[in-house]
Amino acid sequence: MIDFAFTENQLAVRDMARELAAKVIIPSIKDFDRAHRPNPDLLPAMKEANLLGFCIPEKYGGLGMDYISLGLACEELEYGDTAARVVLSVHIGLYSLPVLTWASETQKEKYLKPVATGDKIGAFGLTEPGAGSDVVGLQSTAVKDGNFYILNGEKMWISLADVADYHLAFAWTDLDKKRKRDHSGLSAFIVESDFEGVSTGPIHGKLGVRSGDTGWIAYQDVKVPVENLVYKEGEGFKIAMFCLDQGRYTVAAGSGGLIKACRDACIKYSFERKTFTHNIAEHQLVKQMIANMEAGYEYSTLLWQKAGWLKNQGLRSTRATSLAKWVACREAEEAAANAVQVFGAYGFSDEYPVERFYRNAKGASIYEGTREIHTLMQADYALGLRKDKQLEKDLPVVEQ
């Protein structure tokens, strides 16, 4: 049975993330967003607050918190700005949790512990210039040569690319299967950013998440030790899909925070702005837009919390996570568009935060599976054309 009451530990994480957003993110986000530059105080503040590994078990340097706590932290951080939530999505959802689940004990000691403490940063290297939703369209290759794999390829739209110490990178290890587009030829590796042949750079001119670190990673004849292969050769596609389950979950929870930010901004403004001698809070169509934000927040929250409950139980959550991500991102887009409408001409200016909410909301309907991908997934589940089997490995059960 799902219990809707948060535990003391969950509330403590929520409040910690809320306080960080209020003190570190919100006061300066306008300037960093305008400058298209990350806030240099963000990662140190998240490390100091133990947010960079709080849902990793204590034996690996984390705090052992549950996945509902992860969702609550994502919601509060995105209330401040999407770029802050992206850090948790990538560092924890797309790197740490997959390493925790699929990596060997030796790899966890070397590549999870320093990430859980925040001493090192992890990134996720799947998307390429010509491959996003079409994972088997990847062109990166890793050819075994003695005690190494020779890795070549380029990754694109990689969050934390310029600051990450480790990348969970995906490449073809079976070139015959690559030609046949057989995903069982894909493998996953942990790549250190200071390996010879690794280079990174920023992506400029983004519509949204402008204060986030987004870039590219190039691998040119990089010698990756065989011991950095994650799990087994040919298991990369399964690991990538597992990664996306965790990433989508954090995006869904974060979208709830963006909806809440839109709602709160509109409520405040509607009591300040007058038209025709009345506060616009008294206008029925303004009320309707705010009511829709409230409804969107409530059912988006219920969906991601259901997915989080499944994760806490160690149950497969792909369907629930996909639904939560799809719905929450859709509602966030609508809430942000309506927030701009409530603000009128001022919503078109970055003097107010809603234009930033509008730009940021768009990205979430693209990354971690486009809205079209999730639409098709949910249709296939409903039609009985898609069924999820239990994975060989899944997130560890967490006591709340």
State which H helix or E strand residue 276 sits in.
none
Q: Give the phi and the psi of residue 144 in degrees, each rounded to 5.
A: -70, 135
Whether residue 298 contacts residue 328, with contact meaning beta carbons closer than 8 Å, is answered with no
Exposure pattern of 270-280 as b/e (b: 16+ CB <10 Å)?
beebeeeeeeb
As a whole number of angstroms, the distance between CA 354 and CA 336 comes to 7
Residue with tokens 């590796």: 189
As a whole number of angstroms, the distance between CA 122 and CA 44 comes to 15
Which 8-state DSSP code applies to residue 25? Answer: I
User: How would you classify the pairing of strands 166-172 and 122-125?
Assistant: parallel
As a whole number of angstroms, the distance between CA 50 and CA 16 comes to 9
Which 8-state DSSP code applies to residue 345? Answer: G
| 282 is known as an active-site residue | no
**Cβ atoms < 10 Å from Cβ of 43:** 20
As a whole number of angstroms, the distance between CA 66 and CA 9 comes to 9
Residue closest to 354 by CA, chosen among 271, 283, 261: 261
Count of residues in the chain: 400
Residue closest to 204 by CA, chosen among 214, 219, 194: 214
Residue with tokens 């400058």: 35
As a whole number of angstroms, the distance between CA 15 and CA 11 comes to 6
Rounded to the nearest 5 percent, the helix, strand and coil shares of the chain are 55, 15, 30
Catalytic choice (233, 368, 372, 392): 368
State which H helix or E strand residue 97 sits in.
helix 97-102
Which 8-state DSSP code applies to residue 143? Answer: E
**Cβ atoms < 10 Å from Cβ of 264:** 15
- Return the active site residues: 368
